[in-house]
Structure 1
Amino acid sequence: MNITYEVLPVERVEECRDVCNDLMAFQKSKAYITPELFDSMNFETRMLPSIKNARHNYIVVVKDHGKTVGYVYSNISPKEAYSNDFATFFDMASVKRELVGCLSQFYIKEEYRKYGVGSMLFSMSMDWLRQFSEVEDYFIFVSNGNADALEFYKRKGFNVSHDILDGFITVLRSHKTKSLTKK
């Protein structure tokens, strides 16, 4: 393995197309609550609109010998971006500031898990998110059936806040004053 991490400018987001679509297929394969909701989710319907609605975007790809094997996408967005036709992701009144931070998409091909790649991507994302003094609340949304991801984020200092869409998504939350570990 020759693992490298590369921060991509938004103009090169197309490099995430395949791994983003792999993430949607992975989430559908794990889901036990309305997996058919993933049928319309892909790079064009999830990543591109999120990038467009965000104030700041952060994309990191993981490569092995130049081949993309994973990525993380985080953003700083107006809290209102998380209330749309699909769902309201959190109680707007519970967020005091206008902007929230979100670790929005995270995927590593199975054969590259358990090598610390996930922890590295998580740390890079949280370090980036913490740069924004106007943000106090951080969110992660985990699809149903992905118990490994849920436990990973809990070990990193996030707490389960609530479920939405009848359990289709678990909302995890952390606040800036809380220490987020880099385990």
Structure 2
Amino acid sequence: MGIRYEVISEDEIICIKDLCNELMAYQKSKATIHPEWFDGMCFETRMIPSIEKAKVNYIIVAKDDDEIVGYAYSNISPKTIYSNNFATLPCDAFFDFDSVPTDDVGCLSQFYIKEKYRNRGIGSVLFEKSMEWLSSFQSIKDIFIFVSNGNDDALKFYLRKGFKISHQILDGFITVLRNTH
């Protein structure tokens, strides 16, 4: 297995459409709170709007030969885009805006690795490269990760990487993780 990592442009995101849709199906399969809310979530309703609303995007893929086996999508966005919706679901704000001193926040927005490639260090490399990118913005003081309910492996992974649980939204549908630097 010769895994390579490659940053792709926004113009190339179609190459991760299937993996993004696999991520939505995976999250639904793990969810114990409102799994049906994932029914309307897919590449077109999650990835495309997020890319369009962000100020800057970073997409890194892991490849085994020419096959994309995982990806991480991070962005720098105005904190106000997290005010009152999640994909197609209305909700309260994702976090207390007054607790964020800057106008923009960093977010590790999507992260997925095909099952047979998990637990091989690929996730750690994708995560570290994403954090390096997010940390390169001196104006960003807060990085958020939103973990769907039931995805305990992801939650444990991010906690091991230094993120802290901030709070939950949508009655526990999402756990908000935060790292302030």
Please report the TM-score for the alignment, with normalisation by the length of structure 2. 0.96
Picking from 118, 135, 143, the partner of 2:140 is: 135
Tell me which residue corresponds to 2:169.
164
Distance 2:23 2:62 in 1: 14
Q: Which residue of 1 aligns with 2:112?
A: 107
Provide the C-alpha distance between the structure 2 equivalents of 1:59 and 1:84, rounded to a whole number of angstroms.
Answer: 25
In the TM superposition, residue 16 of structure 1 has moved relative to its aligned partner by 1.0
Following superposition, the deviation at residue 36 of structure 1 comes to 0.3
Read off the aligned partner of 1:70 and give its amino acid letter: G
Q: CA deviation at 1:18?
A: 0.4
Gaps of 5+ in 1: 177-183
After the TM superposition, which parts of structure 1 deviate over 2 Å for at least 4 consecutive aligned residues? Answer: 84-87
Residue 40 of structure 1 aligns with which residue? 40
SS in 1 for 2:16: helix
Across the aligned residues of Structure 1 and Structure 2, the Cα RMSD in angstroms comes to 0.7
The 2-side partners of 1:151 and 1:167 are apart by 16
- Cα deviation for residue 84 of structure 1 reads 2.5
Gaps of at least 5 residues in structure 2 are none
Shift of 1:83: 1.1
Q: Give the equivalent residue in structure 2 for 1:153.
A: 158
Superposition pairs of residues 1-183 of structure 1, within 5 angstroms? 1-85=1-85, 86-87=90-91, 88-176=93-181
Amino acid at match of 2:16: C
- Paired with 2:94 and 2:156, the residues of 1 have a C-alpha distance of 20
| Partner Cα distance (1:132, 1:157) in 2 | 19
Deviates more, 1:76-85 or 1:152-161: 76-85
Q: Take 1:51 and 1:58, find their aligned partners in 2: how far apart are those partners? A: 9
